[in-house]
Structure 1
Amino acid sequence: MARAIWLVLDSLGIGGAPDAASYGDAGADTFGHIAAACAAAARGPLRLPNLTRLGLPHAHALASGQVAAGLAPLPAAQGQWGCMIERACGKDTPSGHWESAGVVLQQPFGLFAAPEQSFPPELLAALIEQARLPGVLGNCHASGTEIIARLGAEHIASGKPIVYTSADSVFQVAAHEQHFGLERLYEVCHLARELLAPWNIGRVIARPFIGEPETGFTRTGNRHDYALAPPGQTLLDAVCAAGGEVFAVGKISDIFAARGVSHSLLASGHDALFDATLQALARAESGALVATNFVDFDSVYGHRRDVPGYAAALEAFDARLPELMAAMRAGDIVVLSADHGCDPTWPGSDHTRECVPLLAWGPDLAPRALGRRGSFADLGQGLASHLRLPPLAAGVSFLED
């Protein structure tokens, strides 16, 4: 039996979803706008030879209706390529990952929509009392880097953690690793996860940082997500039920609430995540799934609206793909996708509702166009069929239609 590798290029949207206007995202195009910015700059067009061979610009052209700037003419793709449309409402990390793994969210996550005084007073009062806090700071929509720059000094002086949210279904808590304490931050987030049950919030995120007011603050790699559990059986569950192993690299384990995970491999930064993926593949036996989320595309470049940084990260990721392909053996498959968009040219700092790529390659896989897929769940169903698992609850296998 073969192995499967699933790589999530977190936030790499490839053009507005059909319902993007309902989210205020008509015209958003993460990949297309990055390519256009590069082509217009002195640095020149995006250099993505390996992703191009797999079919990324082809999938973008299918989703957006035009070839990305600087990438025409497109060569014949050597992988299987297409685009996917999310069926679930929203544009957040859990719903995108869960649907890709075969569980389509039927009820949208709750949101804290008010830009200021975002959280219900009773929620904050309970958190302050039960966590024995002197109070909280923030209580608003904010960028994670901006709010620690603005409130970090007051946080250190007062001992009050910083709480904030966004257009996504999140309750985020930022605190200094030394002055507040990393384990203390995790305890507060664990309690917040329990208190948030009535609001159906997808994730509580611990956002630790270091530094001093005189020199500035920097977020660390000790982020931890406390997600709701998927409301159904995922591809990860199915692999484990069949006796296979799931290697969850990066924040995959957090996103699936550690369910269906045999081994969790933590790493910070794309190179470390790629190294951990190769290490997991070296350990993986037949029937195993290796799943990796490359979070920096989203958290470091997309949310911070850093177009040059996002472009450089894509090129660095592309340059390492041959290592992975060389480590694969007959019968293996690697699938690349995303969970939503985060267009770095778009107003604000939130995710964008976009189509995402579906790229597949394997030593024995014949190249072909996969078309426009009606659900992210087609990815999970395809990997389930590849691993000879029983069909998942949602999706049409991209390998068999």
Structure 2
Amino acid sequence: MLETSNHSTATSSGAKAKGRAVLLVLDSFGIGASADAQNFGDVGANTLGHIAEQCAIGQCEEGRSGALTLPNLAKLGLFKAGQESDNAIAALNQLAEAETSIIGSYAYAKELSTGKDTSSGHWEMAGVPVFFDWSYFEAKNDSFPEALVDAICKAGDLPGILANCHASGTDIIARLGEEHMASGKPIVYTSADSVVQIAAHEESFGLERLLELCEATRKILDADENLNVGRVIARPFVGTCAEDFIRTGNRRDYSVPPPSATLLDKLLAAGGEVYSVGKIADIFAQQGISHRYKANGIDALFQQTMAALSDVAAENHEGAENGSEAALIFTNFVDFDSSFGHRRDVNGYAKALEEFDAMLPALLNALNEDDLLIISADHGCDPTWPGSDHTREHVPVLVYKKDLSPKNLGKRESFADIGQSIASHLGLPPLEYGESFI
């Protein structure tokens, strides 16, 4: 589904950006613990490496079998980047050494931002690292201050809330969903991220009521100078009982805006277009977005990415004289994180990666000679790691352009190198952070 926003294409310099770029974020797809992982309790985490390891020893046999098989990502340099990041996992080394037909450039990037959350990862990727500290609800139980709970209940005219703890979203819905439906109390929980998550049944509680409650909660948090919470997330679900409750695609993230202008803002200011696929628009608090494509599931998100690429081509052909000549298609594949990483589902993660890999040739074939494709991630979420939180890891940076010679781009000192490279490709002025590899 496509939504479009009007925006001005005027710039102070009069210059116009040109070109097309596609940025795909495989949410949570880390490739090895970073040097500061000890600050997060994540020394030894490796999302890609441990998935490859579990597949190699036969622990991922449901719906697939054998070694992790990602021929297209391998040709783009994924396993080479993984080996550069962490060469201690034999299964990953074997996959890296087996691939000799590299068609893309590859690197691994460390994160400058202080946190390992979704917002920080995406904003840094777009040229704005997060150096301030978010507010976290660290207590595992009775997580939220009493004043915040009271304010949420008053704003939503609620008889109370359920949970008030750290929890996995699917687990907490199964555990408290029936009580929620009977009592009318929403399920309010958090995690190691700077987040308030509110789950409610779409029918018994109402989707619009849930969204209104999340909007009100966002305003409550914004009004408290002692709370700097990154996101409020609406988690609607349907079903009749614990055995069949399932979250729907109507999730909504209410984020604080980035602290300064991002690559997205700068592209719009230069007369370009930004096509958000999935939750990108929510992550950037709707800023710097001209077109929104909503979808649920990896296949649907990929198809919407292809639709956006087709729409860009049509718009550029139609409006060559007065339309945009530059576009960024920015997609977040949230399911790798929400459905497999947080749930510690190694087999599901492996299967989803292989399904995504099989889709890639369609995108590669649709790219023009001068189009730039970058595949990366925003943090790790090792499905073999204790707990259910993100892991502090390097992320892959896979770069493909038909007229670009493949090479090892080495270690990147910031995710912002991605945004800087896209800015360079599109003819934008340099961003404040990052070094271009284009």
Same fold? TM cut 0.5: yes
Which consecutive segments of 4 or more residues in structure 1 shift more than 4 A? none
Q: Say if 2:174 and 2:242, in contact at 8 Å, map to a contact too.
A: no
1:236 equivalenced with 2:236 (yes/no): no
Q: Say if 1:54 and 1:360, in contact at 8 Å, map to a contact too.
A: yes
> Which residue is 1:331 aligned to?
370
Corresponding letter in the other structure for 1:212: T
> Which residue is 1:124 aligned to?
149
Cα displacement (A) at 1:216: 2.8
Corresponding letter in the other structure for 2:392: R
Number of positions where the alignment pairs a residue of Structure 1 with one of Structure 2: 399
* 1: CA distance, partners of 2:94 / 2:81: 15
* 2: CA distance, partners of 1:313 / 1:307: 10
Q: Say if 1:101 and 1:234, in contact at 8 Å, map to a contact too.
A: yes
Q: Report SS of the residue matched to 2:285.
A: coil
Q: Say if 2:83 and 2:93, in contact at 8 Å, map to a contact too.
A: no
* 2: CA distance, partners of 1:100 / 1:326: 25
Cα displacement (A) at 1:366: 1.1
* Structural mapping, 1:2-401, within 5 Å: 2-41=19-58, 43-66=65-88, 68=92, 70-71=94-95, 72-197=97-222, 198=224, 199-213=227-241, 215-284=243-312, 285=316, 286-399=325-438
* 2: CA distance, partners of 1:181 / 1:171: 19
Cα displacement (A) at 1:320: 0.6
* 2: CA distance, partners of 1:92 / 1:146: 21
Corresponding letter in the other structure for 1:267: A
Cα displacement (A) at 1:63: 0.7
Q: Deviations over 1:256-283 (max 9, x none)?
A: 0110000010000111101100010011
Q: Say if 1:35 and 1:70, in contact at 8 Å, map to a contact too.
A: no
Corresponding letter in the other structure for 2:30: G
Identical pairs, percent: 57
TM-score scaled to structure 1, two decimals?
0.98
Corresponding letter in the other structure for 1:249: V
* 2: CA distance, partners of 1:293 / 1:206: 17
* 2: CA distance, partners of 1:359 / 1:333: 11
Cα displacement (A) at 1:78: 1.4
* 2: CA distance, partners of 1:2 / 1:134: 54
TM-score scaled to structure 2, two decimals?
0.90
* 2: CA distance, partners of 1:237 / 1:49: 35
Instruction: Show structure 2 runs of 5+ residues with no match.
Output: 1-17, 317-324
Cα displacement (A) at 1:215: 4.2
* 2: CA distance, partners of 1:214 / 1:343: 27
Cα displacement (A) at 1:52: 0.3
* 2: CA distance, partners of 1:2 / 1:253: 21
Corresponding letter in the other structure for 1:12: F
Q: Report SS of the residue matched to 1:267.
A: coil
Q: Deviations over 1:138-184 (max 9, x none)?
A: 00000001101110111001000000000011100000000000000
The 1:69–1:219 alpha-carbon spacing in structure 2 relative to 1, beyond 3 Å, is farther
* 2: CA distance, partners of 1:203 / 1:215: 29
Q: Report SS of the residue matched to 2:418.
A: helix
CA RMSD of aligned residues (A): 1.1
Q: Deviations over 1:218-244 (max 9, x none)?
A: 111110000110001111111101101
Q: Report SS of the residue matched to 1:97.
A: helix
Corresponding letter in the other structure for 1:386: H
Q: Report SS of the residue matched to 1:196.
A: helix
Q: Say if 2:75 and 2:99, in contact at 8 Å, map to a contact too.
A: no
Q: Say if 2:84 and 2:108, in contact at 8 Å, map to a contact too.
A: yes
Q: Say if 2:21 and 2:328, in contact at 8 Å, map to a contact too.
A: yes
Q: Say if 1:36 and 1:70, in contact at 8 Å, map to a contact too.
A: no
Q: Report SS of the residue matched to 2:19.
A: coil
Cα displacement (A) at 1:318: 0.5
Corresponding letter in the other structure for 2:160: G
Corresponding letter in the other structure for 1:86: E
Corresponding letter in the other structure for 2:296: S
Instruction: Show structure 1 runs of 5+ residues with no match.
Output: none
Cα displacement (A) at 1:74: 3.2
Q: Report SS of the residue matched to 1:335.
A: strand
* 1: CA distance, partners of 2:85 / 2:135: 29
